Amino acid sequence: MRIMFGLTSILITASACSNPDPELQQRLGSVVYSTYCHSCHEAPGTGPRLTPAVLASRLDAARLYTYNQQQMPYNAAETLSDEDYLNVTAWLLVRANLLAPNTTLSMRNMETFLLTPPNEEASPSTPKP
Ligand code: HEC
């Protein structure tokens, strides 16, 4: 019930050109993920683990969104709403620490969020012989 109400208010807020609440976007995104993505993307699923490095390889949030929409769910691409793709993309990025949790991802701002891959583990310095 709360989720239904939330979706409605996202649509209303989106059409009024202001940003929906980031917390709400995260909650909705997590529901999309557990409903449509989790079965393949958590071990022992058939899809790859969506690690920070894997997500960051898409370069920016807009490209990740487009990939998700055009390729996922695998064999059922483009079956979710734009809002669902947006919310799940935001949720994946926040979970991976690639987007600040107080950010609302939108169609307008997503190109501005560049995805910086997490630092490689600093290679241990070689001890001098
Ligand atoms: C039926 C299984 C399945 C489902 C459901 C599924 N995926 Fe995938 N996903 C895959 C497979 C398999 C690949 C690898 C595709 C390839 O390499 O061409 C993949 C690749 C990806 C990648 C790219 C990973 C990389 O290596 O660059 C992302 C991001 C992704 N999926 C997100 C999602 C999201 C978001 C959802 C839910 C909306 C989802 N997937 C649902 C199987 C699935």
- In a domain, residue 1? The reply is no
On whether residue 125 sits in a domain, the answer given is no
- Ligand 1: which residues within 6 Å by Cβ? 36-37, 39-41, 46-48, 50, 54, 57, 67-68, 72-75, 88
To test the pocket of ligand 1, the residue of 37, 49, 105 to mutate (highest count of ligand atoms within 8 Å of its CB) is 37
Residue 79 lies in a domain: yes
Q: How many other C-beta atoms lie within 10 A of the C-beta of residue 89?
A: 28
The pTM of this model reads 0.84
In the chain, the number of structural domains is 1
CATH of residue 46's domain is 1.10.760.10
- Domain span at residue 105? 21-112
- Kindly give the parts of the chain with pLDDT less than 70: 1-19, 120-129
Q: What is the pLDDT of residues 10-47, one digit of tens each?
A: 554 444 444 679 999 999 999 999 999 999 999 787 89
Residue 44 has a pLDDT of 83
Closest CA to 108 of 19, 32, 16, 11: 19
- CA 58 to ligand 1: nearest atom: 27
